[in-house]
Amino acid sequence: MNKNSADYADEIIDLYSLLWDDFHKISFAQFKKYKFTAPQAMAVRQLKRTSYITLKELSEDLSLSKSTVSGIVDRLEKQCVVVREIPEDNRRTVRLSLSPEFIKDTDSTYIKKNCILDTIKNTDIKDIEKMIYGLEKFHTMLSANSKADKTNGDEEHY
């Protein structure tokens, strides 16, 4: 039985999905070591999206009371996850952001790079070169297909 293009497309999609899941698990494991409660994780996610905001803005974004968010931020500050900063132009305001240490520790690109390095360090160079060649080739094909769609008027609509 010969494989057709649809079979290969399904196989590529399955492999892509497996890789995505693997990277997600790696990043999640790094994040998990902080043992955040659900509200703490929500606050961290919001601060990652919108850094340098006030406690009031964070509480509004999370739809939680200011006193609840203040307690959450206190605990996150003790864990060296959040930094409180007082701007020079308005000394009455306190701005919140994620600490540089936490950002580095949970940087998914850095984590993935180290994981990939650990994974391939004992792999034959020829196998690594084949993987890179295959990924580059696939990227080139997807990119060319994407450009062809745009020239045919099939632009992205979200």
Q: What's domain 36-99's architecture?
A: Orthogonal Bundle (1.10)
Strand partners, 97: 83
Query: Looking at per-residue confidence, does 4 or 126 come out higher?
Result: 126
Model pTM?
Answer: 0.58
Render pLDDT for 50-75 as a digit per residue (tens, 0 to 9).
989 999 999 999 999 999 999 999 99
Cite the residue boundaries of each domain of the chain with CATH code 1.10.10.10: 36-99
Q: What is the pLDDT of residue 158?
A: 46
Mean pLDDT of the chain: 87
Residue 157 has pLDDT above 60, yes or no: no
